[in-house]
């Protein structure tokens, strides 16, 4: 995403050994991550072509959906996923339209944060951030910090009210000027929107034809249509838990005060570029970019 009219991507910086170790610990603690081939099956299909920004003329290189199968019963019975899914219909899709947050929606936000903070992956992130002086040690204060980072509303489009927040942009997705898709970097939302006929997967966006993604890859660059608009290229983790993404990007966000942050780290078998844009004390956008996997350069 080129958020907030920023046209230049942040320069990449290699993550420190300490930060790389912490990010890998988060990965290994993500026990709620779904297993490819067992809990879900994806079909990457063809490589999508070039689409100009703002254009909705995209040749479909994928006749079938991206997700062939997802164990939805498992999603319903893992607490963080269950609370997460309830948040996905809480937002006005168009930027420039002020959000209205009900007391029920506020409670849903809190329940998700409460459940996420109880997981080992978030406890690890909290412990590290406290040690680095970036988060309060008190759990309630940490929850408030997470709320401000992910759920505090702000103005994304000039002239509108408080029309966006980090959670909405990253996990739910938005449309800008009724012309383009922005955000929507979450696989659960993608799957549910695809299931309901709102998302049309157009194909993967590997950098070269020979680099077709594997069905067990946990990071994917892709092109898709959403409610009549096309996102030329986006990227997302696949199969990971929502608490893992919140923990990972919260750490990257808090470990830098730059408006744009991009760190490269080897996490498990993946060399990833983790990109975060900030909007004051909140996340503007965040997403992973796969640089290499299983020793294959992309």
Answer yes or no: are the C-beta atoms of 245 and 186 closer than 8 Å. Answer: yes
Mean pLDDT of 74-80: 96
Mean pLDDT of 261-272: 94
pLDDT digits (tens, 9 = 90+) for 147-173: 999 999 998 877 668 989 999 999 999
Cα-Cα end-to-end distance for the chain? 20
Number of domains the chain contains: 1
Cite the active site residues.
Answer: 169, 185, 231
Tokens of 173: 């997705």
| pLDDT > 90? residue 20 | yes
Instruction: Name the pTM for this structure.
Output: 0.92
Range of the domain at 286: 3-297
């Amino acid at each position: 995403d080129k958020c907030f009219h920023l046209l230049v991507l942040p320069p990449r910086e290699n993550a420190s050994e300490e930060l790389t170790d912490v990010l890998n610990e988060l990965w290994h603690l993500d026990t709620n991550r779904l297993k490819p081939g067992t809990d879900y099956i994806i079909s990457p299909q063809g490589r999508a072509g070039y689409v100009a920004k703002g254009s909705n003329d995209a040749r479909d290189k994928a006749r079938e959906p991206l997700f062939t199968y997802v164990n939805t019963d498992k999603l319903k019975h893992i607490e963080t996923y269950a609370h997460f899914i309830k948040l996905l219909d809480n937002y006005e899709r168009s930027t420039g339209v002020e959000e209205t947050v009900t007391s029920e929606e506020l409670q849903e936000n809190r329940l998700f944060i409460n459940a996420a903070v109880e997981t080992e992956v978030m406890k690890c992130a909290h412990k590290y951030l406290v040690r680095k002086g970036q988060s309060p040690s008190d759990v309630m204060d940490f929850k408030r910090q997470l709320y401000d980072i992910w759920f505090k509303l702000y103005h994304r489009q000039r002239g509108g009210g408080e029309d966006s927040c980090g959670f909405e942009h990253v996990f739910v997705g938005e449309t800008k000027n009724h012309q383009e898709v922005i955000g929507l970097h979450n696989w659960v939302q993608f799957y549910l929107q695809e299931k309901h006929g709102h998302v049309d997967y157009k194909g993967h966006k590997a950098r070269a034809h020979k680099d077709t993604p594997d069905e067990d890859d946990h990071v994917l660059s892709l092109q898709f249509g959403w409610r009549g608009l096309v996102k030329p290229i986006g990227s997302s983790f696949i199969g990971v838990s929502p608490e893992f993404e919140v923990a990972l990007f919260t750490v990257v966000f808090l470990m830098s005060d730059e408006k744009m942050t991009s760190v490269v780290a080897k996490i498990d078998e993946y060399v990833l570029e983790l990109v975060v844009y900030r909007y004051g004390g909140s996340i503007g956008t965040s997403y992973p970019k796969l640089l290499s996997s299983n020793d294959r350069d992309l």
